[in-house]
Structure 1
Amino acid sequence: MGVDPEPAVKVRLLLVAALAGWGCAHGGEPDIATLASNSDQVIWEAGQKALEKHQYESARQHFKRIIDGFPQSEYGPAARLALADSHFQEAGTANYILAVGAYREFLTIYPSHPRSDYAQFQIGECYYKQRNSPDRDQTPTRNALEEYQRLLDLYPNSSYIEKGRSRIKDCRQSLARAEFLAGFFYQRTRQAYHAAIARYQAILNEYPDYDELDEVLFRLGECLGLAGRPAEALPYLGRLIEEFPKSDRVDDARGLMDELKSRGTPAPPLPARGVPSPGISPSPVASPSPAPPVGAPTPTPPPS
């Protein structure tokens, strides 16, 4: 779709800006003739070719030319998405931040566009790519989880649903692992058993699908015993034995149960999954514990 030619002065200014923003590291000589074209289709095709060649800055100049110079162009929505994609593909923290902004802008301008689900999924991907290891800040992982959940809530029929669910599972595993490492840090490094109990209990409440729940149950029982609360420890050890009969921790749990029972402590009823025994803080929100300092040595738990 074409539009009336812009004034010559504006075209020259646009070309100067394009030339100034071009870096040799991002590929190719600036295509002055194409940028000055009055055909949005020509500019769009040139931008696509540049993106395919990983000439990201060149591609962005073409997509911005369509967005700014052809406000009614049929390529407008695609140009905005491609602009966001160029940042996502170039990668790096700064580019992921810019990509999130561009995808959000697309959703604001075109909330009902057929590709709005893609933009929402990509926001999650931008945060997912910035995830840290479980012993570091989990903010990017939490942000990714939130955005993928928004995808499921807003676009239940999207073709990205299954991948979104898979990402959600990955994020939940990472967050649960981070909580476990924090609990183990308090238990073994500081002997802060009540703080560790709160962390382990949070996993049972918030991440019952955690892949290493048997280890969590064992450590929770262990901490309760060490904290002088053996009556509360026994049900969790019993649950480990009952629900994870093939776990490597079964023999350890039986041994610990025998030790606790030898102290003359009667075993209370087995608590339901995710329901805390009396006296245990239901979550770290209710009984906050400061996270281990970033960079502090975190002991590696023994293999489960």
Structure 2
Amino acid sequence: MNFRNISLGLFIILALVVPGLAQVNGTPSQRLEIMRQKLETMKRSLGTSASVLKKEKRDGDDKDNPETPLGRLVSLEKESSGLLNEVNSLRGKLGRSEKYELSDIDSLEERVAKFQSRVDKALLETAEFRSKEVSQVGKARKKKKKKKFLGIFGGGTDEYEELIGSVTPGRDRELFIVATREIRKKNFDVGRLLFQTIISTYPDSAYLPMSKLAVADSFYLEGGTSALIQAAANYQDWLTFFPTHPLADRVLLKIAESEMRQIGLPDRDITRAKKAEQRLKALLQKYPNTPLLPMVKDRLAEVQDNLAYHDLGVGNFYYKQSVKYKKGGLKGAQSRYRDLIEKYPDFSGKDEALYKLAVTYLIEEETDQAARYFQEIVRDFPNSDRVEKAKEQLALIGASIPKPNPKKMKVIPQEKKSFLTNFRNEFFGIYPLTIDKNGVLMTKKFDKTKFELIDQVIENEGDLRDSQIPKALTTIISNKKRAATK
């Protein structure tokens, strides 16, 4: 199916009517940083668009009259500066550990979301006033000299002011190509601004869906907590509009991986792990025939191991309190171990949970229950270092010792990490997970000899066909350079 024929006008209308569709979350500091980045981008878009209208010097276009196209853009640019000041003021309070109200951030976030919709609408509605009948695509653009601060600092050129500000036939393709180049050069802010220009100025562009996806990719490739929060939000936003696109399963996987890249050690906050688990389960449910199925299952197992180790840690706390220090907490340990075993049947540390759960029942003199769990260790974990102890306990109880499951004999126990590895992971808060750090359309480490999905989008002039999407989890279609997009 070719999604070039999708109703892009409807997409723009929905995007404007539903401001802040991609809601983000995080710490107050992260939320403020995300708002700052959004406002900086909007301010620059408004400024460059207004500068084009100033050059045109259209009759009646007064910058002080908000009813005119120029005045409207200038007014919004000033408003963006005001919102930026409010964001920076709150950031300053956080930095100085001064008192602030969380409701202030909530309110500001809502205002920025509404302001975003007004900016998008203004850029869209003033596009016709910035249009030029003659296309400048393919022609050399004059680079505007930047002003120097106090005549000393700054300077240089703003290569993309005319590209962003004016509207000409074929400009959306040029914007897409140049934006791709900037992202590959790690100029993420510039690349996003160019992709965003397509979204806000060319509502009928065939490049619009992939531009929106490329924005999400840019955040994912950039990395860092704030960028990953925005990556997940922008991927989700894209998926809301294009749920049946051939890339939808990959996008949902990227949402999960955006969460996975923020997962810490099991003894810390498990919010991200829970969200990643939810996303991966949703992927399996929505796209049961996806070619990514084996990779999704592997990632789900790793995430659930993280969650299981968290529960195991809580259970071990109660176990230690009751068994070693005799301070009670036996029921708390039992509850955690039972829940863990039920929720995560494939947990790599399940033998430890089974053994300690059995011990708690021995303490309560419930030998039948204890024997049940000791027998499960002997039967299903024949290579565990707890098997001999389990057999000893079964002999003392007088319970039968089962034969090991032949299929389980081939299962190799999880390799114990070295002291240095454990120290490093604890120090940096690292939990090892299998994650693809490439985006959906672009790779993290650009290789000019590779032909990527985004190159195919450019070659197709806007979208991808089902047959062009690799079955494997890769953005690379071939090793041969086929398109001049550099």
TM-score range, shorter chain: 0.7 to 0.9
Q: Is the 8 A contact 1:138 1:175 kept in 2?
A: yes
Aligned-residue identity in percent: 27
Q: Provide, for residues 124-143 of structure 1, a one-character-per-residue CA deviation record: whole Å limited to 9, x for no partner.
A: 11111111211112121111
Cα distance in 2 for partners of 1:65, 1:150 equals: 32
Q: 1:96 to 1:254 in 2, by over 3 A?
A: same
User: Could you tell me which of 286, 294, 303 is aligned with 1:162?
Assistant: 294
Cα distance in 2 for partners of 1:243, 1:167 equals: 23
Matched, 1:55 2:192: no
Map 1:114-153 → 2, pairs under 5 A: 114-153=246-285
Question: What is the Cα deviation at residue 156 of structure 1?
Answer: 2.5
Greater relative CO, 1 or 2 (CA 8 Å, sep 6+)? 2
Map 1:5-154 → 2, pairs under 5 A: 8=53, 13=73, 31-37=160-166, 38=168, 39-154=171-286
Matched, 1:254 2:391: yes
- After superposing on structure 2, the runs of 4+ consecutive aligned residues of structure 1 that deviate more than 3 Å are 9-14, 266-270
- The alignment partner of 1:248 has SS state of coil
Q: TM-score of the superposition, structure 2-length normalised?
A: 0.48
Question: What is the Cα deviation at residue 207 of structure 1?
Answer: 1.1
User: Could you tell me which of 336, 349, 359 is aligned with 1:199?
Assistant: 336
Q: 1:234 to 1:156 in 2, by over 3 A?
A: closer
Cα distance in 2 for partners of 1:214, 1:138 equals: 22
Instruction: Give the partner amino acid of 1:32.
Output: E
Cα distance in 1 for partners of 2:185, 2:70 equals: 26
- The alignment partner of 1:189 has SS state of helix
Cα distance in 1 for partners of 2:158, 2:394 equals: 73
Cα distance in 2 for partners of 1:175, 1:131 equals: 10
* RMSD, matched Cα: 2.9
Question: What is the Cα deviation at residue 100 of structure 1?
Answer: 1.7
Question: What is the Cα deviation at residue 34 of structure 1?
Answer: 2.2
Cα distance in 1 for partners of 2:239, 2:386 equals: 49
Matched, 1:233 2:278: no
Q: Provide, for residues 221-264 of structure 1, a one-character-per-residue CA deviation record: whole Å limited to 9, x for no partner.
A: 111112343332122112212222332112211333344x3xxx
Q: Which runs of 5+ in 1 are unaligned?
A: 22-27, 271-304
Cα distance in 2 for partners of 1:267, 1:156 equals: 43
Q: Is the 8 A contact 1:232 1:268 kept in 2?
A: no
Which one is further off, 236-245 or 193-202? 236-245
Q: Provide, for residues 12-54 of structure 1, a one-character-per-residue CA deviation record: whole Å limited to 9, x for no partner.
A: 959x96xx99xxxxxx955213223521011111110010011
Cα distance in 2 for partners of 1:155, 1:11 equals: 47
Q: Is the 8 A contact 2:391 2:401 kept in 1?
A: no
Determine the structure 1 residue equivalent to 2:456. none
Question: What is the Cα deviation at residue 193 of structure 1?
Answer: 1.3
- The alignment partner of 2:268 has SS state of coil
- The alignment partner of 2:231 has SS state of helix
Q: Is the 8 A contact 1:135 1:178 kept in 2?
A: yes
Cα distance in 2 for partners of 1:86, 1:149 equals: 25
Q: Aligned residues, how many?
A: 253
Q: Provide, for residues 154-183 of structure 1, a one-character-per-residue CA deviation record: whole Å limited to 9, x for no partner.
A: 122333322211111111111111111111
Q: Provide, for residues 66-90 of structure 1, a one-character-per-residue CA deviation record: whole Å limited to 9, x for no partner.
A: 0000011000001000111111111
Q: 1:125 to 1:173 in 2, by over 3 A?
A: same
Q: Is the 8 A contact 1:193 1:227 kept in 2?
A: no
